[in-house]
Structure 1
Amino acid sequence: MPKNKTHSGSKKRFRVTGKGKLMREQTNARHYLEHKSSSRTRRLASDQPVASGNVKAIKRLLGL
């Protein structure tokens, strides 16, 4: 049987940590940053873990 392909959009949006946890970027951190406070932009810069209800579906898209 042929190998399954990784979903291209998902591999750009999610990353897997060393322990296997799925991480995602936060929204609202791309543009119009000049009117957002510095504390807000620093908070948005950090990655967040994927919600537990979505982990199974995302792992399937990533081929894990």
Structure 2
Amino acid sequence: MPKLKTHKGASKRFKKTGTGLVVRNRAFGRHILTSKPHKRKKKLHQSVVADKADQKVLKRMLPY
């Protein structure tokens, strides 16, 4: 069986947790931050588990 290739775009955006779930970063935290409250900006720094519907595809993209 050949080696599985990692999807490079996905590897830069997602990472696997110890339990095998895929984690992503939140959107809307790069620019136009002056109009957003401090609380919201703090929340945007936290990573979050990717949606359950996307887990299967993301795990296939990140085999290792």
Tell me the TM-score normalized by structure 1. 0.88
Greater helix share, structure number: 1
Q: Structure 2: where are the runs of 5+ without partners? A: none
Number of aligned positions between the proteins: 64
Equivalent residue, structure 2, for 1:26: 26
Cα offsets for 1:16-39 (capped at 9, x unmatched)? 112222110000011111221101
Q: Structure 1: where are the runs of 5+ without partners? A: none
Residues 1-64 of structure 1 aligned to structure 2 (within 5 Å): 1-64=1-64
How much is the aligned-residue C-alpha RMSD, in angstroms? 1.3
- Structure 1 runs of 4+ aligned residues shifted over 3 Å read none
Tell me the TM-score normalized by structure 2. 0.88
Q: C-alpha distance in 1, partners of 2:6/2:59?
A: 10
> Taking every aligned residue pair, what percent have the same amino acid on both sides?
38
